[in-house]
C-alpha cells in the first residue's frame, strides 16, 4: 500500500517546483505573484496555494496552504493575499486545475495602459478569444479585484490586471506556467511592435478561423 504522505507531498512538490521556475523565467522577482493547484487532500476537496510573502526558494512542503471551498485554510502559514481570485476561479470554472498570477515586466507595462491586447498576432487565440482583456483596477487582495478578473476572463483563460500584472489558469501548474510564458511573450511582442507604429490587426473572420484550429491544437492521436 502506498504511503499516504507521499500522495500528499507530490502535489505540494509540483507546486513548489513550478513556483521556483517563475523568477528564473522572468515572470516574477522577489516574492511577487502566486500559484495554486486544485487538489483533494485528506478526503477534502480544495486547492493548495503558495503562502503570503515567502521566497519561493525557501518553501517547504509544510509552507504550502490548503484552502477549503468555504475560504478557510489549513496550515501554519497565511495564504497568498490574492487567494480570492484563485478561490473564485475554482468555484466558478470547473475546467480550472491551476492558477498563476505574476508581475512580469511586459504584462505589467501593458496593464498600466489599461487596454485590451488586440488580435495583432494569431496566438492571442491561445487564450480563448480574439483579445486578451484587461480587468478594471481594484486594490490587490480584494473581492472587487476578483470580480473584475473573473469578468475579464469570461470565455478566456487569461487576462491582464490593470496596473498590476497577469492572471492565467491551466490544467496543471506546469500548464499554467507555460501559458504564462506565452502571454508574457505576446505582451513583449505587442509592446515592441507598438513602438514602430500601430500593429496591423487580424480581422474577426481571420481570428474565428484560428479559434477553430485551436480547438484541437496540441492534441495527439
Distance CA 63, CA 77 (A): 6
Residue 96 · residue 128 · CB < 8 Å = no
C-alpha cell at 124: 492571442
Q: How far apart are the first and last CA of the chain?
A: 34
Run of H or E including 102: strand 98-102
Is 82 an annotated catalytic residue? yes
Selecting among 62, 82, 155, 212, the annotated active-site residue is 82
Closest to 126 measured CA to CA, from 69, 179, 64? 179
Q: Is the dihedral of CA 21, 26, 27, 28 positive or negative?
A: positive
Rg of the chain (C-alpha set)? 18
Residue 101 · residue 33 · CB < 8 Å = yes
Distance CA 120, CA 192 (A): 12
The answer for residues whose C-beta is within 8 angstroms of residue 95's C-beta and 6 or more apart is 171
The answer for residues whose C-beta is within 8 angstroms of residue 29's C-beta and 6 or more apart is 23, 103
Distance CA 112, CA 134 (A): 9
Catalytic residues, by residue number, are 82
Amino acid at each position: 500500500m502506498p504511503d499516504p504522505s507521499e500522495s500528499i507531498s507530490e502535489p505540494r512538490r509540483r507546486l513548489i517546483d513550478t513556483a521556483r521556475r517563475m523568477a528564473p523565467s522572468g515572470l516574477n522577482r522577489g516574492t511577487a505573484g502566486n500559484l495554486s493547484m486544485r487538489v483533494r487532500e485528506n478526503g477534502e476537496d480544495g486547492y493548495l496555494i503558495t503562502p503570503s510573502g515567502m521566497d519561493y526558494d525557501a518553501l517547504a512542503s509544510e509552507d504550502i496552504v490548503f484552502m477549503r471551498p468555504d475560504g478557510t485554510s489549513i496550515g501554519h502559514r497565511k495564504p497568498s493575499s490574492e487567494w480570492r481570485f484563485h478561490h473564485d476561479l475554482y468555484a466558478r470554472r470547473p475546467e480550472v486545475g491551476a492558477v498563476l498570477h505574476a508581475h512580469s515586466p511586459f504584462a505589467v507595462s501593458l496593464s498600466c495602459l489599461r487596454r485590451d491586447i488586440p488580435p495583432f498576432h494569431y496566438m492571442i487565440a491561445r487564450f480563448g478569444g480574439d483579445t486578451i482583456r484587461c480587468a478594471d483596477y481594484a486594490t490587490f487582495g480584494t473581492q472587487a479585484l476578483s470580480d473584475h478578473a473573473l469578468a475579464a476572463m469570461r470565455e478566456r483563460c487569461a487576462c491582464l490586471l490593470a496596473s498590476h500584472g497577469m492572471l492565467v489558469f491551466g490544467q496543471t501548474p506546469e500548464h499554467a506556467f507555460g501559458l504564462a510564458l506565452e502571454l508574457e511573450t505576446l505582451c513583449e511582442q505587442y509592446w515592441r511592435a507598438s513602438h514602430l507604429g500601430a500593429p496591423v490587426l487580424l480581422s474577426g473572420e481571420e481570428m474565428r478561423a484560428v479559434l477553430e484550429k485551436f480547438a484541437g491544437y496540441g492534441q495527439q492521436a
